[in-house]
Amino acid sequence: MSLLELENVSAAYGPVTVLHGVSVNVERGGATGILGANGAGKTTTLRAISGLVKASGRIVFDGKSILGLRPDQVASLGIAHVPEGRGTLSRLTVRDNLLLGAYLRRDRRAITADLDYCLDLFPQLRTRIRSTGAALSGGEQQMLAIGRAFMSRPRLLLLDEASLGLAPSTSANVYSAVGRLRVESGLSMLVVEQNAALAFTLVDNATVLETGRNVLSGTRTELMGMDSIRKAYLGG
Ligand code: ATP
């Protein structure tokens, strides 16, 4: 049984349907990518899982339907969402942002150890531990958002366009840290990314969305071998 299963999921903003029967799975310990151009429905798919947009179809996490749950209920099941735009708090320090991620936890010692792990994963954050979110660069804010999600010790990470607005070398750093997190903590992930080459450094398999529909799905090797993917998403 997969950790997360979406089958035939549709969603609308008011009268406008933007997802038309999307299906995607995340295996336990696996990382799945959602690729596609601007406006394809990638973000909306993550929002449907998190309960931030009303959806229909089948959304099953760890064997139970989560369709119709509120965002806080979804989060409390262990699904952490790092949204596009990152959502870190600009007035809080790096340390307080990270600890905020752990606010539902009571295991003090493990929280301290996880905080230390986070700062090893993102050494730039260690040097800025007392800076406020507002003082960070875009890359550091992205690291902070991922670190904060990790601090809730989720079972599934939803990562939305972590490379957005970052220099290529910074994106590569962020993805390599997330890859380390995957290997070292066994965290399962659903990763939305426009930059397919970057996504393929992390995910095992992916689906490509176009106007709210799956147009292709496969393993990383299968997809990277397809001419259509190379042309449209890998730059030739
Ligand atoms: P992007 O990379 O630009 O975020 P995406 O693949 O994540 O693209 P979505 O953000 O899911 O795409 O958007 C899918 C469609 O839904 C687009 O046509 C978009 O214009 C529309 N849309 C997104 N958010 C809203 C909203 N709050 N209200 C109305 N329409 C929306």
pLDDT in tens, 132-153: 888 899 999 999 999 999 999 9
pLDDT classification of 85: cutoffs 50, 70, 90: confident
Is there an atom of ligand 1 within 6 Å of 207 CB? no
**How far is the centre of ligand 1, averaged over its atoms, from the C-alpha of 172 (Å)?**
25
Is there an atom of ligand 1 within 6 Å of 19 CB? no
Q: Has residue 60 got a pLDDT over 70? A: yes
Q: What are phi and psi of 216, to 5 degrees?
A: -155, 145
Tell me what pLDDT residue 216 has.
93
Domain range list for the chain: 2-87+153-233
Is there an atom of ligand 1 within 6 Å of 195 CB? no
Atom in ligand 1 nearest the alpha carbon of residue 40: 6
The count of other CB atoms within 10 Å of the CB of residue 110 is 12
**How far is the centre of ligand 1, averaged over its atoms, from the C-alpha of 87 (Å)?**
17
Q: Cα(113)–Cα(115) distance, rounded to whole angstroms? A: 5
Is there an atom of ligand 1 within 6 Å of 40 CB? yes
Average pLDDT over the chain reads 94
Residues 6+ apart with CB under 8 A from 46: 34, 81, 83, 158, 160, 190, 192
Tell me what pLDDT residue 219 has.
96
Q: Cα(22)–Cα(43) distance, rounded to whole angstroms? A: 12
Write out pLDDT tens, residues 34-59. Answer: 999 889 999 999 999 999 999 999 99
Answer CATH for 2-87+153-233 from 3.40.50.300, 3.10.20.30, 3.40.50.970, 3.90.420.10? 3.40.50.300
Which residue has the least CA distance to atom 19 on ligand 1?
39
Tell me what pLDDT residue 24 has.
98
Write out pLDDT tens, residues 148-178. Answer: 999 999 999 999 999 999 999 999 999 999 9
Residues 6+ apart with CB under 8 A from 169: none
Atom in ligand 1 nearest the alpha carbon of residue 164: 2
Atom in ligand 1 nearest the alpha carbon of residue 43: 7
Write out pLDDT tens, residues 218-231. Answer: 999 999 888 888 87
pTM for this predicted structure: 0.95
Tell me what pLDDT residue 235 has.
66
**How far is the centre of ligand 1, averaged over its atoms, from the C-alpha of 13 (Å)?**
9
Give whole-number Cα distances, 206 to 24, 27, 35, in Å. Answer: 8, 12, 7
